[in-house]
Amino acid sequence: MTGFGRGSASDGEITVWVEVKSINSRFLEIQMRIPPILSNAEFEIKKIIKKTISRGKIFLNAQIIGGSGVRLWDIIVDDSLLDMYADLIEQIENRLVPERTVISLDRFLTMNEIFTKIPNTESQERVVSLALSAVSEAMKSLRQSRRQEGKSLQADIQKRIVNIKNCVRKIEKIHKDATPSRFKNLREQVEQLVGDIEIDPIRLAQEVAFLTAKADCTEEIIRLESHIAQIEKSIKSRKPVGSFLNFILQECHREINTIGSKTDINEISELVIILKEEFERIREQVQNIE
C-alpha cells in the first residue's frame, strides 16, 4: 500500500528528521538515503521497518541538524604521509625554483588521502539514538497512513463481495432448477438421434445420468462459497493477508472457469463473466494490500 510518514527527535543540540514513503510491491524492499554517520545503524533501522511493514517498497530519507557547538566528525592526519609529501614538494621546489622554498598549506588541503574523517564517538552515539527514535515515529505515522488506505480498499472489496455472492446465489438457483429438466431433455435428444433403433432403457438412463452429472456444478459452487467466506474473513483481519488473498483468488478463478466450461445455460454463462470481472478487480486491489 502507498503511504507517507514523518518523524523527528532532538536532544536540544542535535535534531534528526526522518521521512518514509511506501509504494506497492509484492515483497518488502527497503531503500535508504542516510548520512554516513548513521551507516553503522543501518541494520537497526531496517529492523524497525521490518517490525512495522511486511510488504511494499519503502523509501527512507534521514537528515541531521547539529548545533554550532556540536562536533559530529573528527579529522585524523596521517603524519607520515604528510611528511613524505612535504619532503617531496620541498625537493621539487629546490630543484626548479631554488630561491622559493616556502611550502603553502593550501597544497595539502587538496590531498584527501592525508586526512581521514571519522565520526565523533560521543556525537555518533547521540545521533544514532535520536535517529532510531525518529525512524520509529516515522514508521508509526506511515502505518497510520497505510491503515487509512486499507479501510478504503476493504470497503471497495466488501462491496464487490456482496455483488459476487448475489451472482453465486443466482447461479445456484438456476442450476438447481435446470437439473431435472436437463435429464429429461438429454433423454429426449438421445431418443430422437437413435430413432427406431432399440436401446436398453437401463443403459440409456445410465448414460444420460452420466452426462447430467458431468454438467453438475454443485461442488464448484460449494467451494466457491467457501473461498468467498475466507476472503470476507481475511479482509477484516489486522494481520498481513495479501499473499493469502492472492492464493484464494486464484482458487476462485479456477472454480469459476470450471463452472463456465460445464454449463450450457446462457444465464449462467453471463453470470460467470460478471464474476470474472469482479474477481479481477479484487485481484488488482489485493496487490495493494500488505
Cα–Cα distance, 186 to 153 (Å, whole number): 46
Give the least confident one: 41-55, 142-156, 159-173, 272-286. Answer: 142-156
Backbone phi, psi, residue 80, to 5°: -65, -40
pLDDT digits (tens, 9 = 90+) for 93-104: 777 665 555 556
DSSP-assigned letter for residue 104:
P
Predicted confidence (pLDDT) per residue in 60-106, tens digit = 999 988 766 777 777 777 778 777 877 777 777 777 665 555 556 66
Q: Where are the domains of the chain?
A: 3-69+121-146, 73-119, 149-286
Residue found under cell 476472503: 231
Is 8:18 a contact under the CB 8 Å cutoff?
yes
Whether CATH 3.40.50.620 fits 3-69+121-146: no
Query: What's the whole-number average pLDDT of the chain?
Result: 81
Average pLDDT over residues 254-264: 86
Question: How far, in Å, CA of 31 to CA of 25, rounded?
Answer: 13
Whose grid coordinates read 464448484? 220
**Residue 16, pLDDT score:** 92
Kindly report, residue by residue over 134-170, the tens digit of the pLDDT.
999 999 999 888 888 888 888 888 999 999 999 999 9
